[in-house]
Amino acid sequence: MWNKPTKEQLASIPELYRTEETPLKDKPIYLHFFIGNCDWYVSEFDGKDVFWGFAILNNDFQMSEWGYFSFHDLDEIQVKGIFEIENDLFWQVRPAHQVERICRAQGWPLPEHQDILEIECPNCKKITRSGLGEEISCPECKVIILQRSISYQGGFRHGLYS
Ligand SMILES: [Zn+2]
């Protein structure tokens, strides 16, 4: 991972079980890691390696779940030996019910501001908009564009692609 969370970010995350009394919908999400159609949302941290939060793998909302995952493991994962998991640098801490993909997975009402991507086709430079987690292909040249950056809470960002 080239953009690991800072010590300060990690220190701000509650320890394991500290948000036990907090309903799932209100769990604050402190960090978001992602690659392609996989997301890990962090709510608690043991201070060393273990995160607790919500994971969505390969857009499989049915199988997505709250649970533990290892920072070390995330750090090690590579896709095709090239793409690493990224820490979402634009993430803003907010409760789970304000995170669109968690809401989709949990069957909760979607937040008012949904995560929208604006991505430039690497081929023809045409701009395409899409919802987060949807596979995007360029309407012009039909190339599938890998999502690598997200936006939320209104504003648009240009997505990066590889
Ligand atoms: Zn194109």
98 and 120, same domain (yes or no): no
Q: Residue 114: in which H helix or E strand, if any? A: none
Residues 94 and 124 in one domain: no
Same domain, 100 and 134: no
User: From ligand 1's centre to the CA of 59, what distance in Å?
Assistant: 24
The pLDDT of residue 121 is 79
Quick one: 12 and 51 in the same domain? yes
What is the pairing mode between strands 78-79 and 83-84? antiparallel
- Do residue 95 and residue 16 come from a single domain? yes
103 CA → ligand 1 middle, Å? 31
20 located within any domain: yes
69 backbone dihedrals φ, ψ, rounded to 5° = -150, 155
Q: Measured in angstroms, how far is the CA atom of residue 53 from the centroid of ligand 1?
A: 36
- Say if residue 69 is in the same domain as residue 136: no
Distance from the alpha carbon of residue 117 to the mean position of ligand 1, in angstroms: 16
What domain range includes position 101? 7-106
Whether 24 and 95 share a structural domain: yes
Report how many domains make up the chain.
2
Q: How far is the CA of 104 from the centre of ligand 1 (A)?
A: 29
How far is residue 54 from each of residues 23, 51, 97, measured CA to CA in Å? 13, 10, 12
Say whether both 42 and 85 belong to one domain: yes
Q: Which residues contact 14 (CB under 8 A, 6 or more apart)?
A: 28, 43, 44, 45
Predicted confidence at residue 133, as pLDDT, reads 58
pLDDT means over runs of 10, the chain (162 residues) = 90 94 95 89 97 93 94 84 81 90 92 71 78 72 64 37 33
The pLDDT of residue 123: 81
Looking at residue 127, its pLDDT comes to 78
Which residues neighbour 83 within 8 Å (Cβ) at sequence distance 6 or greater?
Answer: 35, 36, 146, 162
C-alpha of residue 137 to centroid of ligand 1, in Å: 8
> What's the pLDDT score for residue 44?
97
Asked if residues 135 and 144 have their Cβ atoms less than 8 Å apart, the reply is: yes
Residue 111 lies in a domain: no
pLDDT of residue 131: 65
The pTM of the full predicted model, rounded to 2 decimals, is 0.72
102 shares its domain with 120: no
What is the 100 CA–ligand 1 centroid distance (Å)?
27
